[in-house]
Each structure stands twice: as C-alpha cells, then as structure tokens.
Amino acid sequence: MEHYHCDQMMCHSSDICPQPISSAEGTEDGSGYEEALDIVEINKDLNLHEGDIRLMTGRDRNIVVGNQFRWELPVPYVLHESLDLNAKGVVLRAFDQIRLKTCIDFKPWEDEPHYIVVIQDDGCWSYVGNQHQGNQSVSIGQWCDHLAIVEHEFLHALGFWHEQSRYDRDEYVTVVWENIEKGREHNFLKHSSNYTTTLGTMYDYTSVMHYNKDAFSNGNGSTIITNLPEYQDVIGQRLEMSSNDVLKLQKLYNCTSAVTFRMSCSFEDERVCDMTLCAAGNTSWERVGSTKAGPFSDHTSLSSQGENQTESAHGNGTANQNGGGSFMHCSTVSGKEGDGAKMQSRKMNPKRQIQCLQFFYFHSGSDKDQLNIWIREYDREDEETTYLMGQITGPPTSHWQLHHVSLNATRPFQVEFEVRKGAGNSLGGFSVDDINLFETECPHHVWHIPNIDHFLINSSVGTSLLSPRFITRQSYGLQLLLHLYSDHFGVFFRLVSTDHDDQLQWPCVWRQVTVSLLDQSHHIQQRMSKQISITTDSERTFIGDSGEIFHYWDNPRKLGHLINDTNRESYYAGPNLGYRTFLSLDAFRSGNFIKGGSIFFFLSFDDLSTLRLSGSDPPKPQIWSNMNHVTLMKTDDKGTCLNQMMGSTTTIVTPSFISSFAVSLPTGTIFTMLTATVALISGNLPLTL
C-alpha cells in the first residue's frame, strides 16, 4: 500500500456534525496502490511455494514441524541493515503482539547458533520452522510492512503452514481449480495427514494464515469458496492473529501462558476476578447490570449501536437497553464527602519494569467525585508502599470512556481502584468494566469518536472528521483525519503547529506514527485491531504553488495552511499522509470496532532514530514528564481499607517514575468529547490541560 497526501479537511469529532469539505483524493506520491496489497499480489512474480514460502533444497515440503523444528525461546533475531526503518518498527510491534498473546518471546541475537535475520528482499517470505541452518532469513520487503503480514511471515518461521493447505480443508472450503492462474495450481495442494497435524484445532476461516478468496485467480472468479457463505469475505483477513492462531501456537510450543499478559476482567463471574472489595462510610463497590443514572448496560456486551447512556437521569432512559452482563459500580449518591471504597486486584509479579492498565469507566456522579488509581508494591518483608498513579474527576460522561494508566512496578504489586465521594449532589457514581493489564507501553494518545454511526449515515462521500490536536512526548503537534469514501474510509495524519515549534528540531524525521482502530472485545488477547504505521523520512518533498520545494516534515508554520476551525481555533497544518483504504465499511461493521456507537483510535509517535544505528535493539520506553495537580480529599479513616492504606503502609502521592500518558492540546470545544479531567502525578514538571 502506498502513502498519499491530501487536501486540508475541517470537521471536528467533538461536534459529530459533518459537512462536505475538501476531498482526500490527493496526488499520488510515486507508483503505488490505493489499497493494501496482499502477500500473493506482492509476490506474484517470485514463484515461491504457496506464494510466500521458501523451501530448503532436498527437504520434503510436507515434513512435520516437530520438536526439532521448534525454536528455543526466546527466539534470537537480527534486524538487517537492508530493512526499511518503518519495517523495523512494525516488526518490533509484531513481536509485542505475539508476546502479549502467546509464550513466544524474542531477543536480539547474542551469538546463538540459530537465529532469524529479518531482511528486505523481494517480497514477503519465510521458511517454515527452525531449519537449523544458522542465520535463517525472513523477508519483509516493499509493501510488506504491515502488522498482519509480519505476523503471517513469523508464524511461518515459528512452524505454521497455510490454513487452506490442511488435509481436512475440503470439509470447509472448495477450491475452484478452473479459476486458478495456469501454472499456479500447485499452490493449492493439501498437506498429507501422514506428515502434518492440525494440532486438534478447528478449521479457522479467520486465521491470518489463510489465503483470500481470489488468491492466484485468473480473473474468472474466486479460487476459494467457503462452505459457510458468511465467511467468504472473511478469509484472508489481514488484521491480526486470530484466537485460533494463538491457540495453535501455544499448542505447538506446549505452553498456556503469555509473556506480557497479566490480567483481564469483565466481571461476568460472581467472584469478580478474585478482587478484594472494601469500603469506608456509605460507599461501596457492587457488581450490577445497570444503574438508574447510567450506564444502562455493561461495556462487555454493549451492542454496536448505542445512544446517550444517561437519558434516564432526565426521565427518558431504560435500564438494560443493550447489554446483559455485569460491571462494577460505586455509588456516591448518599454518604458524606470523603467516603471511599476500594477494589483491589490479586497480587501479581512483574516481569518487566513497565505495565499498562487499560479499563473502561463511566462517570455519572458529581464533578467533584474522584476515581483514583493506586498500586501497592510489596518488598521481601511484605511491607507495602502505595503509589497514586492516576486520577479521574470532572463532569459526568454520557458514554463508556476508555482510559490508560502507565505503571512501573518492579516488585510484587496490586492495582487498586478507589472512589471517593466529593462535594455536591450526585445522581450516580463511578462504574468500571473490561480491565486489562499487560507489560507493554500504553498508547500515547486515544481519539474517542462517539456516535460514529451518525457520521457514517449522515455524511456524504468526501466528508472528513478531524481529531483533537495532540502534543507528542517530544512536543510536536499531531492530528488524525478520518475520510469517508463510498465503501471504505481512509486514515491520514499531519503535523500541526503548537506553542513549542520554535524549540523543536525541523524537519521532524525518523518518527513512526502508528494508528490503531481498537477491536473492543473485552479480553485484550482476543482482539484483532486494525493497525498501520508510517515513518517520517528525510527524503519526502513536495512542490509548492510557486514552484518552491518543501520538505514534507518541516515546520507547519513554514509550509502549512492556516486553519480556522469550527471551534474558533487557529493553527497551521502541514500536508496529510496516510492510507486511502484503511478499512472497508463492511469489515468495519462486522468486527468489534463499534460499541455503544463509539470507536477508539490509538495513536503513538515513536522516535526510531536509534534503530538506524543499533539495528536490532528496540527503542526503550521514553521518559516524559507530565505532572498535573492532583487533589486528594480528606477522608474518614475508620474503614478497613482506608485504615490499611493510611495506617500500615507508606503512601506516596508523587512517585519518582515518569508516566507515558500523553495529553492533547486544548482546542476549545474539541474537548467536549473528553468529558473527564485526567490528572496524573509523575515527575516534577506541572502541565495543565
């Protein structure tokens, strides 16, 4: 897939009142494609086995990938100097996803006898399993630098053949031989049951290892027809590994745990994920299915369509409109200021020094109520130290909100959700659902688009939606654009001006922008999100109206357009770059991307300059100072939990770690969709929203 730049677009997601504006039918930058190329298309002239597999000379292609073809873990790797910088970043992200979902880990090569060398050769290809030939290549060539393609090739390297080559495939799909390009029929041969195994798993139409319906077609129609018609447009998905891919990988390597996954909780079990609940005063955490003031349902079972979840507060709502599951709710309707309730996770042992806590919350109480996020660390004598990691307060919300808190536990720890009742009248309280904890870096920014169906239904082709302006950790301004086409939408990004521009290095190069549309499945290991990455470089230029040459990633004040948006904000915006075909509308609606009418884009902005020099060592999580003022109200200490925290523990409100949470620039009413004020304590530099 090639990158394109497009004209300026001006419709803000905070309003959700789209208007026709400039099209993103921008100038094609070099020779490229408007939509993603699949592996078969990228490799069409390479004549590889099954399209992307290299075979060792003299070896049976059907050989069982047994113990001798498994890798010792962690798998050593080298990112070769030939590899494109963007591809290096995508490979490292693929490693993170594999670590999150399986027991497979990777490490930079340290003279191990057998290791993987990731190169940029013609096309995308791999050998199957560990061939015990010293350095074993995996090619991530031009057009291959997409998460799902990298996962596909590494699953080959770890021991997988293609899904449609299973010996039982005829029970699930029909190969249309007359539609196959002449001379390519061998790519559809089945592997014998005498030499291969299905590992006892069901056939997987959603596998990232499956051909698409038109693979090797001669133009007369599809080459693969699914026996279940509803999967005809599903096979060949290039989002992420499926749950069954994960299961097979775990079985192949005889393991059940995952490297960086720590916990997931959707509160469907009455045991509430073995959490400890305790309270002081008249507040308490309760497992419920709906609340009078909202939300009307849990987030886990929320349908794709959903309106304002607080209408019942005005006499118009109905409980349990969409869901049927449970969530945790702490009411602040009664009681006195300072009453508190705590919900503590089980004790966990960190394997890394960085964790990300992700959860959905709903706020229906007073704007003075607080949801505080703490961690309790335990030393060898089981003495506790308690750190305040985050705080949510402010006006009530009308939708489930997604929130991340970066942690840095180095000793056994617990995560604690604490609600404290504030001053003023409350109609509800705080609700929490779908908690996930994992040991990778949190996304830098989140773009929440509520009522996305209104945008899709009421907008004409060519309409675009603008995100808030985000300020990156390096203080660059960044903005996303969602552009609507007839049957799909595109995603673009651009640099925008901030008050820091005169202090920054220009042009802004070797930064990787990664955008991910979140699959809102409750369990992070079951998600199949859509992700793209683009890395800024020093060579991309364009010609201005007067014939002058501009660097694409130069200061927006120098080369951009002045934008006066609908929120009466003025700023300069540089040229847009992105993908015209990010996701089809059919795939968008059939996935788990929409819940309650809301979608979430994750945005990260990583400095990859060290990868140009070191090659294989991943960039370390950056230290970024972001301290907002946090107020902890006085509280009654007669309750068990508050006695535990304040009596027998050390409480630290200003921990020494630096959070990776990033804030967005204040852009007027753009912040109406961010309905809670988020405050974190970290470092010693005050930064106010």
As annotated, the binding site for Zn(2+) includes 152, 156, 162
Measured CA to CA, the distance from residue 377 to residue 245 in angstroms comes to 35
569 is catalytic: no
Write out the H or E segment, with its range, that includes residue 559: helix 556-559
List all residues 6 or more positions away from 479 whose beta carbon is below 8 Å from its beta carbon. 466, 467, 468, 469, 470, 493, 494, 495, 496, 573
Largest separation between any pair of C-alpha atoms in the chain:
80
DSSP at 185: G
Measured CA to CA, the distance from residue 637 to residue 420 in angstroms comes to 12
Alpha carbon 372 to its chain's center: 24
Report helix angle 147-158 to 243-252, nearest 10: 30
486: its two tokens: 């007839």
Report helix angle 85-101 to 147-158, nearest 10: 60
Q: 491 pairs with which residues across the strands?
A: 482, 579
Q: Cα-flanking dihedrals φ and ψ of residue 359, to 5°?
A: -160, 160
- Under a CB-based contact definition with an 8 Å cutoff, are residues 683 and 658 in contact? yes
DSSP at 335: S
CA dihedral angle for residue 164, residue 168, residue 169, residue 175, rounded to 10 degrees: 120
Measured CA to CA, the distance from residue 25 to residue 34 in angstroms comes to 10
3-state secondary structure of 233: coil
**234, 61, 250: which is closest to 162 by C-alpha?**
61
Measured CA to CA, the distance from residue 187 to residue 185 in angstroms comes to 5
Number of other CB atoms surrounding residue 299 within 10 Å: 29
- Under a CB-based contact definition with an 8 Å cutoff, are residues 178 and 137 in contact? no
Peptide linkage before 507 cis (omega within 30 of 0): yes
- Under a CB-based contact definition with an 8 Å cutoff, are residues 163 and 171 in contact? no
Measured CA to CA, the distance from residue 570 to residue 593 in angstroms comes to 32
3-state secondary structure of 664: strand
What is the sign of the dihedral through the CA atoms of 202, 205, 208 and 210? positive
Measured CA to CA, the distance from residue 476 to residue 578 in angstroms comes to 18
619: its two tokens: 């960039």
The secondary structure of 63-119 as a DSSP string is ----GGGSPPSSEEEEE-TTS-HHHHHHHHHHHHHHHHHSS--EEE--S-SSEEEEE
Number of other CB atoms surrounding residue 542 within 10 Å: 14
Measured CA to CA, the distance from residue 288 to residue 477 in angstroms comes to 41
Question: Catalytic one among 50, 151, 153, 377?
Answer: 153
What is the sign of the dihedral through the CA atoms of 176, 180, 183 and 187? negative
Measured CA to CA, the distance from residue 337 to residue 344 in angstroms comes to 22
**Would you name the residues annotated as active-site residues?**
153
